[in-house]
Amino acid sequence: LVSRKQKSEDTVLTIGDVRIGGSEAPVLIAGPCAIESEGQMDQTAALVKELGGGILRGGAYKPRTSPYGFQGMGVDGLQLGRKVADRHGMQFMTEVMDTRDVEVVAQYADILQIGARNMHNFSLLREVGAVRRPVLLKRGLSATMEEWLYAAEYILSGGNENVIMCERGIRTFEKWTRNTLDLSAVALIKQESHLPVVVDVTHAAGRRDLLLPLARAALAVGADGIHVEVHPQPATAMSDNEQQLDFEGFRQFVAGLNLISKQR
């Protein structure tokens, strides 16, 4: 179902007033790593919206390396995200980590995010295949393109055709970046599949100084959107301090992105 052999034309998703895929202009998905407070979400949403971003992200359930790290605000965070997105006329995207939470996350979010660590969680994939909400499917930490497409197939075969593929870097021997952004995957998945593909530069690079050049490169190879994390005070953020942009950095990032458009 994910293959171009089954469906030759690009899938274009309509999520509220946002359209993604095909010949639509690239979308900007931005927001903090984790939802921390109403003020933090509100300030961030205002800026993202001002600069043309239609989708607000923010994690209420965080997949943390350490069980002692901040795990997210849970349902309180979902409610905050919904409220702030509505206030600014935006779509709200947030991660669902557990099959038991799919229903409540689908109640508050416009887009369900499947994180890299859960790309291979087939029960979760089946569960989000059964809901009528768009799903952003991150590529697994060491997933091949074929495995990633099969993960999407789980969702489509459950009856949910609204899937966005998200390349977020894969694990390699390289240590100077958190992950290695695989731009060939963007070009190749777009050839093999009709689904939209976006690039998460934040988790790929793991460092601020590479976000803009990587995003520009992603658009040049045909990405349908860019995902980036922005926080009012990255230094004191509850997660991903090293790679979230501050507001000035985000302004510069968006200004730099406008210089290049998606290649077709």
Nearest to 19 by CA among 230, 203, 162: 162
Q: Cα(20)–Cα(149) distance, rounded to whole angstroms?
A: 18
211-250 binders of ligand PEP (CB under 6 A): none
Q: How many residues in the shown chain lie near Mn ion by CB under 5 A? A: 2
Among 16, 22, 63, 256, binds ligand PEP (CB under 6 A): 63
Please state the closest distance from residue 88 (CB atom) to ligand PEP, in A. Answer: 20
CA distances from 224 to 61, 119, 170, 187 (A): 26, 20, 19, 11
Say whether 162 sits in a helix, a strand or coil: coil
95 makes contact with Mn ion (CB under 5 A): no
Confirm if 109 and 94 have CB atoms less than 8 A apart. yes
Contact residue for Mn ion among 116, 193, 240, 254 (CB under 5 A) = 240
Burial of 28 (0-12, 13-18, 19+ CB in 10 A): buried
Q: Which of 138, 178, 190, 208 binds ligand PEP (CB under 6 A)?
A: 138
- 143: how many CB neighbours lie within 10 A of its CB? 19
Using CB under 6 A as the binding rule, the residues of this chain from 21 to 40 that contact ligand PEP are 33
| Cα 8 from Cα 174, distance rounded (Å) | 36
Instruction: Work out whether strand 135-138 and strand 163-167 pair parallel, antiparallel, or are unpaired.
Output: parallel
Query: Considering beta carbons, is residue 69 or 89 the nearer one to Mn ion?
Result: 69
Out of 51, 56, 60, 116, the only residue in the binding site for ligand PEP (CB under 6 A) is 116
For the beta carbon of residue 247, count every other beta carbon within 10 angstroms. Answer: 18
What residue 115 binds from ligand PEP, Mn ion, none (CB within 5 to 8 A, per partner kind)?
Answer: ligand PEP
Q: Both tokens of residue 148?
A: 């990633």
Q: Which is nearest to 244 in space by CA: 3, 58, 18, 39?
A: 58
Stretch that binds ligand PEP, among 69-77, 78-86, 112-120, 188-196 (CB under 6 A): 112-120
Task: Decide whether 43 or 244 has the Cβ nearer to ligand PEP.
Answer: 244
Shortest distance in whole angstroms from residue 35 CB to Mn ion? 12
Q: Cα–Cα–Cα angle for 179, 144, 10, nearest 5°? A: 100
# binding residues, ligand PEP (CB under 6 A): 11
Cβ-based nearer residue to ligand PEP, 16 or 63: 63
143 to 172: interface string for ligand PEP, x by CB under 6 A: -------------------------x----
Q: Which parts of this chain interact with Mn ion (CB under 5 A)?
A: 33, 240
Q: Which parts of this chain interact with ligand PEP (CB under 6 A)?
A: 33, 59, 63, 95, 115-117, 138, 168, 200, 203
